[in-house]
C-alpha cells in the first residue's frame, strides 16, 4: 500500500504513545495525538521548517494530549477534539494523568469541537472524522481516503481494541465502533495510538473483537 502523504512518527511519553506529524506539500503540518515530549516535536518542526497549523486529538487521555497546549502556545496551532471528551482536558483526575503521580496536570481547552463526518483540511490533505466511542465517549478516528490511512487512536490496535475501564469507557460501544470500521470499503493502513501498524484487512482476519 503506497502512501503519498508525508508521515513522521514519534514514540513519546511514559506510555509510549505514537504521535504523528503529517506535512503538506506547502510545508504546513498537523500533529495527531502529541502525547508528550513537546520539546522534541517542536524541535523537529523547526529543523524541518514545518509550520504547525492543527493539533488533532483522537481522544482526551493525557498520554495523547500531554503536549498539545505546549505546542499551541509555541506555534499558534489550533486544537481539535470531540466535545464529549472536553471534560477530560479539564480534569487530570479522570484523564489518565492520575496514573502517573509525578504529573501535575495543567488543564486546557480545545479551539474546535469535531463531529462525525466532519472534514479537516490541510492544503492537499483531507481527513474525515469518524466518531468511535468506547475507549472514551468522545473517541474519534481520522481517515484519509485518498491515501487509505486510518489514524485509529486507542480504538483499534493490531489484534485488539482499546481498554474501556477508564472514565467514560464502554465495552459494548467499542465493539460496535470497531465493527463499523471493519465495514468500510476496501483496505486501509491502520496507524494506532500505541504499538505497531497494521491494516484493516489484517484486523478483519485476525482481530477477535471484529
Residues 110-119: contacts with CB within 8 Å, 24+ apart?
A: 110/57, 110/79, 110/80, 110/81, 110/86, 111/72, 111/78, 111/79, 111/80, 112/78, 112/79, 112/80, 113/80, 113/81, 113/82, 113/83, 113/86, 114/80, 114/81, 114/82, 114/140, 115/82, 115/83, 116/140
Q: Do residues 73 and 55 touch, judged by C-beta distance below 8 A?
A: no
The pLDDT, as a whole number, for residue 103 is 85
The pLDDT, as a whole number, for residue 2 is 61
Q: All domains of the chain, ordered by start, with CATH?
A: 6-206 (3.60.15.10)
Q: How far apart are CA 95 and CA 64, in angstroms?
A: 10
The pLDDT, as a whole number, for residue 209 is 98
Q: Could you give the 3-state DSSP secondary structure of residue 59?
A: coil
Q: Which residues of the chain have pLDDT under 70?
A: 1-3
Burial letters for 20-44: b for 16+ Cβ neighbours within 10 Å, e otherwise? bbbbbeeebbbbbbbbbbbeebbee
Q: Could you give the 3-state DSSP secondary structure of residue 93?
A: coil
Q: How far apart are CA 150 and CA 30, in angstroms?
A: 15
Amino acid at each position: 500500500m503506497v502512501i503519498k502523504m508525508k508521515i513522521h512518527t514519534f514514540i513519546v511519553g511514559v506510555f509510549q504513545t505514537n504521535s504523528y506529524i503529517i506535512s503538506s506539500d506547502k510545508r504546513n503540518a498537523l500533529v495527531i495525538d502529541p502525547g508528550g515530549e513537546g520539546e522534541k516535536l517542536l524541535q523537529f518542526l523547526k529543523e524541518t521548517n514545518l509550520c504547525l497549523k492543527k493539533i488533532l486529538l483522537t481522544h482526551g487521555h493525557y498520554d495523547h494530549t500531554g503536549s498539545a497546549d505546549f505546542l499551541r502556545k509555541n506555534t499558534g496551532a489550533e486544537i481539535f477534539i470531540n466535545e464529549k471528551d472536553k471534560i477530560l482536558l479539564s480534569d487530570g483526575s479522570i484523564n489518565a494523568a492520575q496514573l502517573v503521580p509525578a504529573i501535575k496536570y495543567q488543564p486546557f481547552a480545545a479551539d474546535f469541537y469535531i463531529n462525525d463526518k466532519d472534514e479537516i483540511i490541510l492544503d492537499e490533505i483531507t481527513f474525515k472524522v469518524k466518531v468511535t466511542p468506547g475507549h472514551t465517549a468522545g473517541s474519534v478516528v481520522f481517515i484519509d481516503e485518498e491515501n487509505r490511512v486510518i489514524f485509529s487512536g486507542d480504538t483499534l490496535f493490531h489484534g485488539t481494541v482499546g481498554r474501556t475501564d477508564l472514565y467514560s469507557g464502554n465495552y459494548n460501544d467499542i465493539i460496535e465502533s470497531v465493527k463499523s470500521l471493519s465495514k468500510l470499503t476496501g483496505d486501509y493502513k491502520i496507524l494506532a495510538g500505541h504499538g505497531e501498524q497494521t491494516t484493516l484487512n489484517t484486523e478483519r482476519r485476525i482481530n477477535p473483537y471484529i
